[in-house]
């Protein structure tokens, strides 16, 4: 939770500390290196955001270009700017859609064995100015033109939510909508939204053999990883310790310690909370 605070009005630019979240005069912030643990992740959607290289939108209208942007679920990555006509423009906004619509793949997914399970997930939400925010999200598998669908799971939401569904490939095969490349299958997946107003969807993720739950009911989505033109497997994105930078206020500056001193034990190196590298400002 971001702490509310009001620095003295000195006519200086403000920014937020990456640790405590307090607004601070930018001149008082310093850059520090931090070691963090990046969890393993995979995404077999070639594009995790809307892109015509993978996704087709049926029925809904793209209204992003009419200055109806959104903060989505990454508000720190979205900025407001003024164009040459003094109109507010959202920078880095996810696509905003109007009306009911179906976001579906227009090319087949990667190969999966019939003994596997798959987990599909996405961040979905109503536009922050909607007067009726409630919406229904159905996730499923369809044919190549979206005229035949089989629902795998449904969510009813009224705010930004990570929706997801886990399914056994053998059940997907039973729908008759798969493409066989013996002994593997490929599918077209979709996200169908029913709502009253504008909405957005982002961070679509497709994982295989996710077994976070210790039962046969399948697994939760794991760590998100963004894709832009190619898939990322867990072997290409293993759990690893990385170093990045974060901006901190005077109250959050860490003293320089040896790794063996931070916790008072020789066998436990420090690992800070994750700070996503793509979201840093340099």
| Band of pLDDT at residue 279, cut at 50, 70 and 90 | very low
Q: Which CATH number fits domain 55-208: 1.10.10, 2.60.120, 3.10.450, 1.10.3470?
A: 2.60.120
**Per-residue model confidence (pLDDT) at position 191:** 98
Most confident of 65-74, 162-171, 212-221: 162-171
Q: What percent of the chain has pLDDT over 90?
A: 51
Instruction: Tell me what the mean pLDDT of segment 120-133 comes to.
Output: 94
Is the model's pTM score more than 0.85? no
Residues of the chain with CATH 2.60.120: 55-208
The least confident of 159-173, 193-207, 236-250 is: 236-250
According to the model, what pLDDT value does residue 100 have?
Answer: 98
Is residue 1 pLDDT above 60, yes or no? no
How high is the pLDDT of residue 244? 84
Average pLDDT along the chain: 85
Position 65 scores a pLDDT of: 74
Give the mean pLDDT of 243-270.
Answer: 67
Confidence of residue 231 (pLDDT cuts 50, 70, 90): very high
Mean pLDDT calculated for residue range 1-19: 73
Distances (CA, A) of 151 to 165, 171, 189, 190, 225: 10, 11, 10, 9, 25
Q: Which of 207 and 182 is assigned the larger pLDDT?
A: 207
pLDDT digits (tens, 9 = 90+) for 12-62: 788 889 888 888 899 899 998 888 788 889 999 999 999 999 999 999 999
pLDDT for residue 172 is more than 80: yes
Provide, rounded to the nearest whole percent, the portion of the chain with pLDDT above 70.
84
pLDDT of residue 59: 96
């Amino acid at each position: 939770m971001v702490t509310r605070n009001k620095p003295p009005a000195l006519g200086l630019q403000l920014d937020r500390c990456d640790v405590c979240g307090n607004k601070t005069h930018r001149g008082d912030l310093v850059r520090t290196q931090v070691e963090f643990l990046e969890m393993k992740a995979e995404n077999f959607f070639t594009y995790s955001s809307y892109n015509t290289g993978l996704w087709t939108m049926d029925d809904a209208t793209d209204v992003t270009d009419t200055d109806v942007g959104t903060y989505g679920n990454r508000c720190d990555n979205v900025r407001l700017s003024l164009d040459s006509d003094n109109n507010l423009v959202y920078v880095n906004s996810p696509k905003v859609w109007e009306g009911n619509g179906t976001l579906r793949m227009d090319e087949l997914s990667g190969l999966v064995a019939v003994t596997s399970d798959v987990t599909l997930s996405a961040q979905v939400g109503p536009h922050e100015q909607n007067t009726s925010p409630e919406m229904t999200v159905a996730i499923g598998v369809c044919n190549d033109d979206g005229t035949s669908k089989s629902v795998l799971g449904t969510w009813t939401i009224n705010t930004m939510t990570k929706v997801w569904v886990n399914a056994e490939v053998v059940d997907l095969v039973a729908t008759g909508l798969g493409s066989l490349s013996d002994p593997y299958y490929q599918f077209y997946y979709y996200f169908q939204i029913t709502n009253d107003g504008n909405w957005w969807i982002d961070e679509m993720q497709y994982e295989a053999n996710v077994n976070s739950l210790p039962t046969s009911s399948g697994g939760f989505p794991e760590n998100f990883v963004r894709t832009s033109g190619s898939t990322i497997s867990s072997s290409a994105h293993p759990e690893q310790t990385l170093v990045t930078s974060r901006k901190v206020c005077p109250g959050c500056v860490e003293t320089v310690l040896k790794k063996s001193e931070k916790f008072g034990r020789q066998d436990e190196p420090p690992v800070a909370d994750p700070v996503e590298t793509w979201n840093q400002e340099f």
